[in-house]
Amino acid sequence: MAKSRYVAVVGTIVMALGTVSCGASDTNSASQSTTTACSTLTCDQTRFQAIAKDDPTNKYAPYDLGVIAQGRGNRAEAQTDFLRAIAIDPKFEAPLYQEGFLRFHANDIQGAISYLRRAVRSNPQDANAHWVFGIALSRESRAKSVQAEASAQLHDALTFDPALVKNAQQEGLPACNRCRL
């Protein structure tokens, strides 16, 4: 994304955050944050809904709504929002990864692989996308070609984030044996 577009999107978000009221109280006490009429997530959700309504081409608003829904444990709503963000920008890596991650945890391995493959293509240096993609591939098939691709993805993940070695050891991933750095 061009820097000027990014600045414009951030400016729109900041402007909307300052203008959407969420019913916070105007107390001056030290516990002001606990006396607001709504939770921070509800306020954020309201703000991002307003942004999405005002600018249906803004891919960040549905993505952020998806993150909020995911944080609340509402996978169906999160997936709807992530898919809306992907529909706006099919190469937007963050919702591609999140959609793949949700599908992986819902045991939809084929769906996870599809979205994670796209996430890795959109951002080849995203260690987490490579990591989950590699694990999904290793669970999808025992075919040598798939296991070789899984191993390559896990190797790439470890190259970008060596701290993932601990995760590999905890998972006991055989595809990762050659991946030690």
Q: Which domains are assigned to the chain?
A: 1-90 (1.25.40.10), 93-181 (1.25.40.10)
Residue 173: predicted pLDDT = 56
pTM over 0.75: no
Chain-centroid distance of CA 152 in Å reads 22
- pLDDT tens column, 17-52: 333 334 333 333 333 333 343 455 567 788 888 888
What is the distance between the alpha carbons of residues 97 and 118, in angstroms, rounded to a whole number?
8
Residue 8: predicted pLDDT = 40
Averaged pLDDT, 154-166 = 87
Residue 11: predicted pLDDT = 38
- pLDDT tens column, 86-143: 999 999 999 999 999 999 999 999 999 999 999 999 999 999 999 999 999 999 888 8
The number of beta carbons lying within 10 Å of the beta carbon of residue 145 is 8
3-state SS class at 48: helix
Contact yes or no for 156/129 (Cβ under 8 A)? no
Residue 96 CA neighbour count, 13 Å, CB half: 24
